[in-house]
Chains A and B, each alone.
Chain A
Amino acid sequence: MQRPTETAPLLDLSGVTVRFGGVHALTEADFVIPRGSVTALIGPNGAGKTTLLNAITGMVPVSEGRVVLDGCDITHLPPHERAAAGVVRTFQNLEVFTSLTVLENVMTGRHALTRYGIVASLLRTSGFRRAERLCRERALEKLEFVGLADERDTPAGELPYGRQRLLEMARALAAEPKLLLLDEPAAGLNTRETASLGQCIRDIRDRLNVTVGLVEHDMDLVMGISDQVTVLHFGHPLATGTPDEVQADPEVVRAYLGEEE
């Protein structure tokens, strides 16, 4: 499905370089996520996909280049300010708050949106109670969205793996982001779970109007749901296009299957 991209892209990385000592994990990478799209980032292991995600969310310092989200330069903001600016993520190795309940996890996602001071919480003012009620309602909506509402009072650490992935998505969505970044959301899921994940990601785009950036190895999932695919190779973008264009690109085929002799 082709989506309109006539407006400026939601996320625009230009010339981003990330170095770890002498190693260039990303070299002058340009990467764009159009507004309202599902954009996938693929590439062989070690191509720098997660590093790119980390550069967008502020978890690694960017040596050169710019990261622009919705017209704001966020290149040098700390992670928590980027979340407030509108980009949140999930993690490849789950980072669920295991000691909190499922609902508390999602309510934590609304931290920056739940605005009341320390004094208000100490004294349980009416403003506090109103904000907490709203926070709880919105969190429950997100749990219903991913289908975890029945588990709201379960300690998150007791959820099975696949459901913890859904919980992370609900928690990230609770922050009401403009851009949701998913780091290998299908890792460790079975075929059935992956299929429902795909539907869930489509719903995030179509029903919640949240743009999705996706790092994923499951090619069926990527090609099935993405509007745009960017292939990363040795820290550098190799090709960008629709799933069909990318699959037909000889450079991409070479990168994935190796040089023909």
Chain B
Amino acid sequence: MPWSKIKPEWNEPDFLRESRESQRILSYAEAVREALDQALALDSRVFVMGQGVDDPAGMFGTTLNLHKKFGPGRVFDTPLAETALMGVATGAAIGGMRPVYFHNRPDFLLLAMDQLVNHASKWCYMFGGEVNVPLTVWACIGRGWGSGAQHSQALQGLFMHIPGLKVIMPSSCYDAKGLFLSAIADPNPVLVLEHRHNFKHRGLVPPHLYQVPIGKGVLRKRGKDITFVAVSYMVMEAYRAAEDLAQEGIEAEVIDLRTLRPLDEEIILFSVAKTGCMVVIDCGWKTGGVTAEISALVAEKGMEFLKAPIWRITCPDVPTPAGHTLEEAFYPGKQEIITAARELLGRKRQIHGEKSENLRSWQSDGHRSSHPA
């Protein structure tokens, strides 16, 4: 597969897990597949549907041969009709099942927006809690090898906008399994957005059934100088940037959000309160997206903590180009994060100094009196 040429396989950093019951290492795809395998074995209401879930590639290996183990009644291929099949999955969930609907790419979810946004996400609220929709939708963001404008969109900003829809984006093998199991067990619609590059990871995955809570971020690295808030694959880039910066004596704190909605506001604000500056890093677009929302959160609730402007690192606001030289320019990574951190810390020192000066002169000019108490 050409994919194998894009990015070598590598072991995840050891995130110093508290419960290290197991030293077993799995690939990301194996972790996702194990979650499905265990969910199917545990609960007869769970079933897996989607175009190609029973084909020889098995959805990047995540559904590989599950149809042989659980039968074609519980793991089955679907027509390409994304609109109807999203509604079918929603209806099956309303009727008491726990569907897991696989989409090769988030780009194809756009065909299913009516059922996902107008129906599944609203059904519980719209009927005063009378009916709920325990639906899991899975899609994998593509990247590289000329996938281009319609096979590599990272649309989390779009989905994060929708009340009633939970959006999770794991970055580690451990979370890929644990969050997926939480999604399947959740009585509400949950969208799992994976990233193709995560599938090159190998990491610690305990063999037993466990859940990682939806709505909780995690600190991947502690630090006091600057906060990196990152999503999905960009967590790894942020972590590697933080490791390099440590060589220069800069201590960056790395937050892996894991869930975009509901957002773990506390972990972000707590960290920014400590460091006073933040870089927000997403693998999607900038305008109206994930980084915009997180920046707004800090501006609204943590302005007094900030000692420097917020810095956002995203893909630029253009469709993904196919050509590899343009692709290279399109995707930010570790180096952009390092550059941002250095720049921002410089500004933090400078602005913080200036700010204290300005504040003093502002107060002495009597500006305060213009604000009613």
**A and B part of one assembly:** no
Chain A residues engaging chain B, CB cutoff 8 angstroms? none
Chain B residues engaging chain A, CB cutoff 8 angstroms? none
